[in-house]
Amino acid sequence: MIKKDYVPVTSFRTELASPQPGRGGLPARAHLRSDAPRQPLDGAWQVRRRPDGGWSEIRVPGHLPLQGHGTPIYANVQFPFPVDPPFPPDDNPEFDHRLEFEADPAVLAHPSALRFEGVDGAATVRLNDVELGTLRGSRLTTEFDTTGVLRDGVNVLQVRLAQWSAHSYLEDQDMWWMPGIFRSVTLLARPAGGIRDVFVHASYDHRDGSGTLRVDVDSDAAVTVSVPALGREDLSAGESHHFRSVDPWTAETPSLYAVRVHTQQETVTLRAGFRTVHVDDATLMLNGRPLLLRGVNRHEHDPLHGRTVDLATARAELELMKRHNINAVRTSHYPPQADFLDLTDELGLYVMVENDLETHGFELNDWRGNPSDDPLWHDAILDRMRRTVERDKNHPSVLFWSLGNEAGTGANLDAIAQWTKRRDPSRPVHYEGDRRSRHVDVYSRMYATTAEVERIGAGTEPEDEHRRELPFLLCEYAHAMGNGPGGLSEYQELFHRYPRLAGGFIWEWVEHALHAGTTAEGRTVQLYGGDFGERVHDGSFVIDGLVHADRTPGPGLADVARVFAPVGLTIDAERSTVTIVNRYHSLDLTHLDADFPLPPVAPGDTVTVPLEVSSLVTLSLRDRRQGHEVAWAQHVPPRPAPAVEATAVPSGDLRLGPAVFDARTGMPVRLGDLGLHDVAVSLWRAPTENDRGQGWEERDLPSMADRWAAARLGDLRTRLIGITADGPALVVRTRSGPPVIDAGVDVTWRWTSDGDALALDLTIEPYGRWPCEWARAGIDLRLDRPTARVTWTGWGPGPQYPDTGQGARYGTFTAGRDTYAVRTVRPQEHGARRVDDATIDLAPAPENRPERAGAGLRVRGVDVPLTVRPWSRETVAATAHDHELPAAASTWISLDAAASGVGTASCGQGVLPPYRLAPSTRRLRVVLQQPIREEPVATSSYQSVSEPSP
């Protein structure tokens, strides 16, 4: 009976400082689907703040700070309390939870257990005044024996929880600190003569297509195992059974076989997948073929419910991943809710399950006292790993065990690596934080630069013999924070080139913004670190995902889909061919619908076939089963620059065709009846999150944003040099430069017109010694009404910077104001599309300022980066949250001769050399005119044409 462990509640505080594992729990085991009765205890509980708060209702599962009890704290590496292990601070929020429930007689008829799947914080559990034990390990399952304690009629369950404990030192993941019972609580009948645990071992032999199955069962009773789909009803447990032919499990072909494990008292149903993962010649192999991981890191996050994510949402997330060619998930940095892995088994995704362990904050103290290397913490760390492996061991989708994240090095990590290999020799063990890689089966790194990854792939990096035998993966790369990630293609090309490179996991899938209602204008208030008054926090660093917190995709997701395409298509217009590379693991291409004759191509093979390429060609491959596009390619023929016959001549009062120029500045101020404002040359952009980071390849230098700020790139002052007529051209010469320094740009604006359109041929030439690279080189102008929509022929629908936008294709697109501008939680430069012909329609003027209905600006050119947004760059750069941006009143337009790439310096390498913008002469040719239109664009209010951000 559990009572033997009873410790009076007065020791609750003392025990919080214990580095020991939780007490009183049953041995860790698999999360089994059983026919034994169960009783969910989720729902309305009572909670009160200790010592003297009043009781109120709370939803379980849920986090306390998201239900009005305390506040969330976002910190990445730094601990928000003194590093004084194993002690928590005295300032430690404590809560009592209470649930009264009637026991279900079906459960009560048997021995029983109480299961907690996730309680964030450290807790002590009492049922009917009997202490069951303590909960440690926030994202891990604990079961308590309740036999003899659970009673007929009303039962009282109490959970006393403290936010901080010794175990907080092991849970320093980069995410919100949010205590609470955030996963389900369930009472389970545990019938005598039932099944305690099951371990399914199912492997595949690619040489002959056979499968081997062994089902280890922990039970006191006689057990039978059946696999109906293989025609076997009476397999003995604990022995290997050979099947001559099975369908192997892969993410592309997730074939599952129901396995029934049966005793007289209990039946458990599992789904086995036959697959074998191993390492051969430093190559990661699945079922005998090389495996490429096109993965993402997934935290559990919901903008309203935090790490309580319902299963329907998780399924939708996985389906969204599959539609974007993502085939792998690292459960960063803890085991996900248990049922999540049923979904990855069924839908087909490779999973790296990570232990709930991170001690990163010790790094800021030179790793002094790191629990990973202190015997005091050995048991707690082993306990965590054991519970991770035992719970999830039966899932075919789980290919790797990860020991944890950023926990330094030490004997305790070595010990859990060894334990894991002994317990489950079938799966490679992963841990990134130990460069010696002595106890792991894959060499893993995070954010290694492409230059280093290339050396690792090519085997030119100095390595010891052991590590050289390991395949390589990037457990994190391509930090998807804000505008970006830039440079995805370069990584992928390396993954394709070198068999040792097994791919990796993009950081990260979902942003962790917390939503807090909407503004009067209807914008969602999205919060990040510091917004809850935290004194230690890491700001917006938690907003770094391919999808927003509500899982609407950011533009990077379309780029990922293109870069991860399992089929390579390359059109060669000169030779009139298309080359097809099948990069699936094991599928041929017969499941794809193509709009061209698609030849059979075996996995790993390349085939070139003739293709008629005369004009614009778009090839698209669609998965017939799931209906989504898996790959596409385009041939876009060269387009001539738009010709404007220079028939108009400049007049003495500085008019040229439809344009009027200002004699003081030399800049155009009107185009027909459209006012042009603040026309100026510009070299700056509102820093992106990546611009604000220090690239890992140049850590000794300030961030790009700081270099620009030091050079005052955003504060150019202009001097008019002269205005001359050169035949039909009006030539304006200006010089612009930042204050303080003697470097700048000489700009020649050469304007011509055919009486309707106004052509600009602009040359920007640097002078002096420039102290930094440029963000862009182009012009800005403002129209004094907000945009209604933008319609363009060019690249879209998503934005493109020199190292992003792989998902953008040539076509004609329309976007509302917000969609075009691309709004991000923290405002920053975004939204440039390369256009050939774009029309910016302005919203109708308010009634007191009648202007021509349907006014706007048309811009023509070839591949001209066009940014359109309702705020100035300065406003964007100075605003911390999207919902704080002012309502749209004007339109700011930028047209670029050139722009810098974005890179991933928010965490990782900066902008790669080919995408940087060294000061040099740049030329922009565009044609501006008023759109010819009969009908007004939008007749209702401004709001009716705005759209939510994508």
Which residue number is nearest to ligand GAL in terms of Cβ?
A: 174
Interface with ligand GAL includes 76 (CB under 6 A)?
yes
To ligand GAL, the closest distance from the beta carbon of 505 in angstroms equals 10
To ligand GAL, the closest distance from the beta carbon of 77 in angstroms equals 7
Region label for 238, one of left (φ > 0), alpha (ψ between -120 and 50) or beta (otherwise): left
To ligand GAL, the closest distance from the beta carbon of 76 in angstroms equals 5
DSSP state of 2: G
d(CA 146, CA 185): 13
Residue showing tokens 């890992």: 696
- The rounded radius of gyration (Å) of the Cα atoms in the chain is 31
Query: How far is the CA of 508 from the CAs of 71, 449, 482, 511, in angstroms?
Result: 24, 17, 12, 8
Of 190 and 301, nearer to ligand GAL (C-beta) is 301
To ligand GAL, the closest distance from the beta carbon of 298 in angstroms equals 12
Q: Which of 406, 623, 780, 882 binds ligand GAL (CB under 6 A)?
A: 406
Annotate each residue in 606-625 with x if it binds ligand GAL (CB under 6 A) or - if it does not, as one string. Answer: --------------------
909 in Cβ contact with 697 (< 8 Å): yes
Which residues, including other chains, have CB under 8 Å from residue 365's CB and lie 6 or more apart?
83
Of 122 and 907, nearer to ligand GAL (C-beta) is 907
Residue 640: is the preceding peptide bond cis (ω within 30°)? no
Of 371 and 737, nearer to ligand GAL (C-beta) is 371
Of 18 and 173, nearer to ligand GAL (C-beta) is 173
Of 433 and 807, nearer to ligand GAL (C-beta) is 433
Interface with ligand GAL includes 116 (CB under 6 A)?
no
Pairing of strands 293-297, 328-331: parallel
Of 255 and 402, nearer to ligand GAL (C-beta) is 402
**DSSP states of 560-614:** HHHHT-SEEEEEETTTTEEEEEE--SS--STTEEESS-PPP--TT-EEEEE---S
Half-sphere exposure (CA, 13 Å, Cβ side) for 109? 8
Of 541 and 801, nearer to ligand GAL (C-beta) is 541
To ligand GAL, the closest distance from the beta carbon of 70 in angstroms equals 23
Of 185 and 907, nearer to ligand GAL (C-beta) is 907
- Near ligand GAL in 155-194, by CB under 6 A: 174
**DSSP states of 90-112:** S---EEEEEEEEEPPHHHHTS-E
Give the residues across from 39 on adjacent strands. 187
Nearest to 307 by CA among 61, 47, 49: 61
Annotate each residue in 422-461 with x if it binds ligand GAL (CB under 6 A) or - if it does not, as one string. Answer: ------------------------x---------------
Q: Which of 144, 362, 507, 795 binds ligand GAL (CB under 6 A)?
A: 507
**DSSP states of 106-159:** HHHTS-EEEEES-EESEEEEEETTEEEEEE--TTS-EEEE-TTTS-SSEEEEEE
Residue 508: is the preceding peptide bond cis (ω within 30°)? yes
Of 441 and 476, nearer to ligand GAL (C-beta) is 476
- Near ligand GAL in 533-562, by CB under 6 A: 541, 544
Give the residues across from 860 on adjacent strands. 837, 927
Interface with ligand GAL includes 907 (CB under 6 A)?
yes
Interface with ligand GAL includes 476 (CB under 6 A)?
yes
Which residues, including other chains, have CB under 8 Å from residue 913's CB and lie 6 or more apart?
none
Compute φ and ψ for 203, nearest 5 degrees.
-125, 165
Nearest to 352 by CA among 560, 546, 199, 505: 505
Helix (H, G, I), strand (E, B) or coil at 420: helix
Of 31 and 298, nearer to ligand GAL (C-beta) is 298
To ligand GAL, the closest distance from the beta carbon of 824 in angstroms equals 15
To ligand GAL, the closest distance from the beta carbon of 262 in angstroms equals 43
**Where is 876: in which H helix or E strand?**
helix 873-878
To ligand GAL, the closest distance from the beta carbon of 906 in angstroms equals 8
To ligand GAL, the closest distance from the beta carbon of 153 in angstroms equals 47
Query: How far is the CA of 307 from the CAs of 86, 299, 508, 581, 829, in angstroms?
Result: 26, 8, 15, 40, 30
- Near ligand GAL in 376-405, by CB under 6 A: 405
**Where is 235: in which H helix or E strand?**
strand 232-235
To ligand GAL, the closest distance from the beta carbon of 695 in angstroms equals 14
Interface with ligand GAL includes 684 (CB under 6 A)?
no
Of 541 and 795, nearer to ligand GAL (C-beta) is 541
Q: Enumerate the active-site residues.
A: 406, 476
To ligand GAL, the closest distance from the beta carbon of 478 in angstroms equals 11
If you count them, how many residues does the chain have? 950
- Near ligand GAL in 322-341, by CB under 6 A: 333
Of 474 and 731, nearer to ligand GAL (C-beta) is 474
Which residues, including other chains, have CB under 8 Å from residue 872's CB and lie 6 or more apart?
782, 892
24 in Cβ contact with 7 (< 8 Å): no
Residue showing tokens 């953008």: 808
Three-state SS annotation for 245-273: CCCEECCCCECCEEEEEECCCCEEEEEEC
47 in Cβ contact with 96 (< 8 Å): yes
To ligand GAL, the closest distance from the beta carbon of 354 in angstroms equals 10
Total residues at the site for ligand GAL (CB under 6 A)?
12
d(CA 707, CA 691): 10
Of 249 and 509, nearer to ligand GAL (C-beta) is 509
824, 828, 833, 834: CA torsion to nearest 10: -160
Strands ordered across the beta sheet of 606-610: 567-572, 577-582, 606-610
* Both tokens assigned to 562: 């293109």
Residue numbers at the binding site for ligand GAL (CB under 6 A):
76, 174, 333, 405-406, 446, 476, 479, 507, 541, 544, 907
